[in-house]
Amino acid sequence: MDHRLFFVLGDFLANLAVGAIVGLICWAIVSPSWNMWIAMFAMMPVGTVVGLILFFPIGIKLGAMEVMVPLMFSGELSGMVVGMGAAMAVLTPGQAALLGAASGMAAIFFVWAANTLLRGVTREARER
């Protein structure tokens, strides 16, 4: 993953925005009359598709391979969390967007941590 400030800030803001947008979409679809498990499984692909669609304009600026998986994962996680939350209680649009944005941030933190752990020590890092 890139460590330039432009990319890091763009990556965090993109995942935050995707999470908030997915949260609002799930809020518009799911109501407390839904079963929470059905809502979770129904909103998971919705969030993934929204993340995939928003990947195209964001990927132009930040790079295709660097943002596709985090954005789709952020959308998926946000859809699941907000879908379940909206099925359990009445949420305001602000609460849904905030919950989705928090899920997007959790997803990008997970992706960055997993990437760091899986990458291990590289040859370039040993030479420094």
Does residue 1 have a pLDDT over 60?
A: no
Average pLDDT of the chain to the nearest whole number: 90
CA distance to 3, 73, 86, 93, 118, per residue, from 20 (Å): 24, 13, 14, 10, 28
pTM for this model (two decimals): 0.87
- The 10s digit of each residue's pLDDT in 21-70 is 999 999 999 999 999 999 999 999 999 999 999 999 999 988 888 889 99
Is pLDDT of 124 > 80? no
Integer angstrom CA distances of residue 112 from 3, 5, 13, 31: 11, 14, 14, 33
Confidence bin at 7 (pLDDT 50/70/90): confident
pLDDT attached to residue 125? 61
